[in-house]
A and B are shown apart, each in its own frame.
Chain A
Amino acid sequence: EAQVTQNPRYLITVTGKKLTVTCSQNMNHEYMSWYRQDPGLGLRQIYYSMNVEVTDKGDVPEGYKVSRKEKRNFPLILESPSPNQTSLYFCASSLRPPRSDRAHEQFFGPGTRLTVL
């Protein structure tokens, strides 16, 4: 089944304890992205990747790192989580990176609910 998977789905952790949220897609998609969703603020892009070894900052990258060593995986790393990173996180992917005149359909993972105490 074509899908985007995320792990873990739920995580409660403490301030300062490094964590990684994994994202994997099995659709051979070139473009991948991370969003966070917060009440009243909607979904905001954290980082995106146009292809392997190509990553760039979105609107709210502070406190996060990403890597894209393989096409299928795009992990989100919180080196020193803080309570303001408590949020619902989504990974998304699309077949090709966007161009100025076309953007492909994006598919979302099931989400990761993170609580930082």
Chain B
Amino acid sequence: GIQVEQSPPDLILQEGANSTLRCNFSDSVNNLQWFHQNPWGQLINLFYIPSGTKQNGRLSATTVATERYSLLYISSSQTTDSGVYFCAVVGSSNTGKLIFGQGTTLQVKP
């Protein structure tokens, strides 16, 4: 099945810093989503981005489907950005199952 790898596994930033999170996947995908899991465990949708570039405030994402990777950019980070960031993909399987990467744990210090 599809493998999803995220890097880095852990990231510590000072408030105001910028960061780039990477997601590599091993096969073609029909869906790619980025989520933020906050300290209360909730999974917040950030982007639905099977290809191309999107921006939402301080966050933006780019997926290059032909090269099988996606990037999540966080600019001017805030303490509320802390948590785990997941990349998840749906392959050609018709179960609709999202295959999650292991996540990047981000800690933003004041």
Contacts and interface: CB of A to CB of B under 8 A. Distances in A.
Interface of A: 31, 33, 35, 42-43, 45, 48, 50, 56, 58-59, 88, 90, 92, 94, 97-108, 110-111, 113
Contact of A58 (B30, B33, B95, B100): B95
A42 B102 contact: yes
Given A58-B97, A101-B30, A102-B30, A110 B90 contact: no
A2 B88 CA distance: 22
B90 A103 contact: yes
Given A42-B103, A100-B92, A110-B42, 9 more contacts: A43-B88, A43-B100, A45-B95, A48-B95, A48-B96, A99-B94, A101-B30, A105-B33, A108-B45
- Interface size range of chain B in the complex: 20 to 34
A39 B100 CA distance: 13
Interface in B39-98: 41-43, 45, 48, 88, 90, 92-98
Given A42-B102, A111-B41, A59 B97 contact: yes
14 contacts: A31-B96, A45-B98, A48-B96, A90-B43, A98-B31, A98-B95, A99-B30, A100-B94, A102-B31, A106-B31, A106-B98, A108-B35, A108-B45, A111-B43
A59 B95 CA distance: 10
User: Chain A interface secondary structure, helix, strand, loop or mixed?
Assistant: strand
Contacts of A111: 41-43
A31 B94 CA distance: 11
